[in-house]
Structure 1
Amino acid sequence: MLKDYSIFAINGIKNRKLRSWLTMIGIIIGITAVVSLIGIGQGLKVAISSQFGDIGTDKLTVMASGGMGPPGTGVVTPLTKDNVKKIEQVNGVKVSAGRLARSIKLEYDNNVKFSMTASMAEGDGRKLIESAMNLEAEKGRLLRDGDSKKTVLGNNLGSENAGFGKQIIAGSNVLIQDEKFEVVGILEKTGSFAVDGIVFMEEDDLRKILDTSDDEYDIIVAQVHPNADIKAVQENIEKVMRKERDVKVGEEDFTVQTPQAVLAQVNSTLFAVQLFVYIIAAISIIVGGIGIMNTMFTSVLERTKEIGIMKSIGAKNSTIFSLFFIESGLIGSIGGIIGAVIGVSMATGLAFIGRMALGSELIRADISIWLVIGSILGSFLLGSIFGVIPAIRASKLNPVDALRHTK
């Protein structure tokens, strides 16, 4: 019986191809948006979570207010070497290290690019920064203590597509702020914009080429002891920093963040963006559902005489209802299938284009089979729900009046 109903519904759609396709547009657009955005959003969440997982949960980052701008510019009120010492004295802190992070001019083979650079501390501070940023050398080596006039580049800067005319390799000489440096290593690709496009050098070298104060830092990284409560350590660091910088609660000119807090902020932002798109997609889907209802009402009107004939030869109200109910659900399902296919293709394509354009492995699509199945089932349910009223109207037609109906 269900097979016969389905054949009847398919024939109804075939006989009204243009109207059926136009009806499906809203469903297709909505499902495409939902599948593609959820796919890309989930992919970003997985990739970003893995990045923060590599960093570890025992690191704290202290940043001064302001930003890293053009060469030679820094934050409004920089952190200081004394801040580093005070933070290291906080109960629960194992080691801390200060870093400069600035924008510099990088030149190679007469081609110039502006990139971010970060200073590298020495001793335990170096190990802390390498661990916090998950640094590994793909070619050459990492920086060592005393590596004056030497630099390590992020993977993007050492790639063939970096835009320098020819590829920078370990052993190449580059100009940083018009000063000659030897590239001793190229980092492994991390998928992070911040790491893959960065230039690392010794702290003294960076201070010299940018002519900065010997006392200032932009960032301080702290590692807590294994058994320490990182939240309590964070609060204690904030107290120390407020005292050191003579600011009150709520007036801080610095931030103390954990990887988990940053990850939560990123996920919150992604959710807000996704929520906005979901609302737009939901409106599109509802409009599509209303379109299905309108189409089915028109179909009932056009097939009134046909309904009368079926009833006159013994068709029950439940049979008529099922025919139109299944047809509306089928329209929704077809729209859902097409939307899901387009959504998967769009998410995969956009992620690929993003990776090629931005050089970041963070941009990827993560689409589960349950998302696709759920979208298709949801489309069927939506079509069926919006088809209930037209189906009820069709089932309640008086056979005598229906047979008298003329188009």
Structure 2
Amino acid sequence: MAADLERQVAHWLAAARTFRDAEEFASLEAWRAVERDVGAPLRRQLNTVVEELIALGDATAKLIATARYDAAALSQAAAAVQRFRRRYFQVDVTLDFIGDAVNTRTSPVLRAALTTLDRLAVASMVSVLQKANKPVPRVLVYQDKGTGASILRAGVRLWAPGAVMPCAAIKIVRHNLYRPTSLFHETGHQVAHLTGWNPSVGAALAQALGHDEELRAMWTPWASEIAADVYAFLHSGYASVAALYDVVGDAETILHWPIGDPHPIGWLRTALGCAFARRCFSEEGPWVALQRSMETRFPISAADTTLQPLLVRSMAAMPRIAEACLSAGVPALNGRPMTDVLEPARVSPAALSELERTVGAALWTSPHWRETEGIRIVALAGLREAEHPETASVWINRARAWLTSEARAA
């Protein structure tokens, strides 16, 4: 038994020692593409996790050596091998996740796009978190498959015991890489967590729907996702609403309400985004046509009969719901609403058109405007793509060229 345990631990220890080389799970070129203030803390965290794993393996090997001469120690040694195996797989999952995220920077064009998104993500959090006296996390954006984005927040515990994510890791899906309004939804999750905003949004929804117990029970569990939608809207305006509809507009799911899903029903989520636009911009705009199209393509009558009354009452309450979400106080901002810091008028169609007119062609080429107006440039490109379908490809290509311009310049 001792010899067999010794063989097992030798195998897992040898595998664990390969983790010391970061290039075992991400290429050197990919690591170099991650900016130092993100890559360095990531590498330090991973190194700590790996060294703790190897130390556990060495201690296990010593225990087995003792068991060769003391049969009473065999059961303890066998249990230690099992612990070491489990820890190995926890570390393996952690390194695999980080490695896959870093390794998506597979070409100069992708590296440039993802680096630009890293910076935009950080920029989207600075104004709020600085006013809230909270540290601004660094961000690693990575590309992956699927329809929707996601975030592993900075400070979250990883799979390996004791490991904490030193930066936020945000997944951006391929179809939205060059229309990245979902990036601001995900940074909204990070900001909401740090500022205590989610419970406030839930309380505001509960108050707005206080007259209707069923609607209150329906809407309040969605508070965290709605807060993130508000955050995306305040950064990218109507572009975020159109992009969201492209994600949720699946005929099989848009009118469904999966039990336990923290996301609002796609139909209501889109209608709420349109209500934000009416509340902040104008009663008339492309959001009116979008909602009309959705309601025509997916009428309430197509929903489950038990859901239809809730949809009808939700639509009647939608102006109150939108107002509640936009005006919900943020505890870390002394109860002021998020709109006090992120003025929605800055991303209105009129304001974006004024930016486009004033700056001209330099908006898409100047490093100065990239640095100072990068988020609104994303909002402008997404707006033009959404409101002018006949020229959407032009704006998609323009956004792609802008996001990857550093690679092209090199």
TM value normalised by structure 2: 0.21
Over alpha carbons, which structure has the higher Rg? 1
Structure with more contact order per residue of length (Cα contacts < 8 Å, sep ≥ 6): 1
TM value normalised by structure 1: 0.21
Structure with greater proportional helix content? 2
Structure with greater proportional strand content? 1
